[in-house]
Amino acid sequence: MTQQQPRVLSGVQPTGALHLGNWLGAIRNWVDLQDSHDTFFCVVDLHAITVPHDPDRLAEDTLSTAALYLACGIDPARSTVFVQSQVPAHSELCWLLNCVTPLNWLERMIQFKEKALKQGDAVSTGLLDYPVLMAADILLYDADRVPVGDDQKQHLELARDIAQQRINARFAPNPDQPLLKVPEPLILKEGARVMSLTDGRAKMSKSDPNEGSRISLLDPPELITRKIKRAKTDPVLGLEFGNPERPEADNLLSLYALLSGRSREAVAVECAAMGWGQFKPLLAEAAVEALRPLQASYAEWRRDPATLEAVLEQGRQRAQDVAGVTLARVRQALGFLAPGRPDQG
Q: Is 200 in the site for ligand AMP (CB under 6 A)?
A: no
Q: 203 catalytic, yes or no?
A: yes
- Report the Cα 147 to chain-centroid distance in Å: 8
Q: What is the smallest separation between the CB atom of 240 and ligand TRP, expressed in angstroms?
A: 30
- Between 131 and 149, name the residue whose CB sits nearer to ligand AMP: 149
Q: Which of 115, 181, 229, 232 is catalytic?
A: 115
Q: Is 22 in the site for ligand AMP (CB under 6 A)?
A: yes
Q: Which stretch binds ligand AMP (CB under 6 A): 95-103, 200-208, 260-268, 272-280?
A: 200-208
Give the whole-angstrom CA distance, residue 255 versus residue 118. 28
One-letter identity of residue 47? H
Phi, psi of 144 (to 5 degrees): -85, -40
- Nearest CA-CA partner of 11 in 48, 57, 49: 48
Instruction: Name the percent of the chain in helix, strand, coil, to the closest 5.
Output: 55, 10, 35
Query: For ligand TRP, which residue of 20, 33, 44, 162 counts as binding (CB under 6 A)?
Result: 44
- Between 139 and 330, name the residue whose CB sits nearer to ligand TRP: 139
Q: Is 217 in the site for ligand AMP (CB under 6 A)?
A: no
336 φ/ψ sector (left φ>0, alpha ψ -120 to 50, else beta): beta
Q: Is 25 in the site for ligand AMP (CB under 6 A)?
A: yes
Let me know: does 38 contact 7? Beta carbons within 8 Å. Answer: yes
- Nearest CA-CA partner of 78 in 314, 324, 325: 314
- Between 96 and 257, name the residue whose CB sits nearer to ligand AMP: 257
Q: Which stretch binds ligand TRP (CB under 6 A): 62-70, 130-138, 202-210, 267-275?
A: 130-138
3-state SS class at 43: strand
Name the strand (E) or helix (H) holding 309.
helix 305-334
One-letter identity of residue 245? E
138 binds, among ligand TRP, ligand AMP, none (CB under 5 to 8 A by kind): ligand TRP
Alpha helices in the chain (DSSP H): 20-22, 28-33, 45-48, 55-71, 89-98, 103-107, 110-119, 125-139, 153-161, 169-171, 221-230, 247-260, 264-271, 276-303, 305-334
- CB neighbourhood size of 79 (10 A): 25
- Report the Cα 328 to chain-centroid distance in Å: 27
Give the whole-angstrom CA distance, residue 278 versus residue 157. 43
Beta pairing partners, 147: 186
- CB neighbourhood size of 343 (10 A): 4
9 binds, among ligand AMP, ligand TRP, none (CB under 5 to 8 A by kind): ligand TRP
Within 147-176, the residues that bind ligand AMP by CB under 6 A are: 148-149, 151-152
280 binds, among ligand AMP, ligand TRP, none (CB under 5 to 8 A by kind): none
Let me know: does 133 contact 98? Beta carbons within 8 Å. Answer: no
Q: Which stretch binds ligand TRP (CB under 6 A): 9-17, 102-110, 221-229, 337-345?
A: 9-17
Q: Is 186 in the site for ligand AMP (CB under 6 A)?
A: no
Strands 184-186 and 145-147: parallel
Q: What is the smallest separation between the CB atom of 18 and ligand TRP, expressed in angstroms?
A: 11
Q: Which of 153, 181, 206, 232 is catalytic?
A: 206
Q: Is 138 in the site for ligand TRP (CB under 6 A)?
A: yes
Number of residues that bind ligand AMP (CB under 6 A): 16
8 binds, among ligand TRP, ligand AMP, none (CB under 5 to 8 A by kind): none
Q: Is 127 in the site for ligand TRP (CB under 6 A)?
A: no
Q: Please give the positions annotated as active site.
A: 115, 203, 206
Binding site for ligand TRP (CB under 6 A): 9-11, 13, 44, 47, 134, 137-138, 146, 148, 152, 155
Task: Please report, as ranges, the residues that interact with ligand AMP according to CB under 6 A.
Answer: 12-13, 21-22, 25-26, 148-149, 151-152, 192-194, 203-204, 206
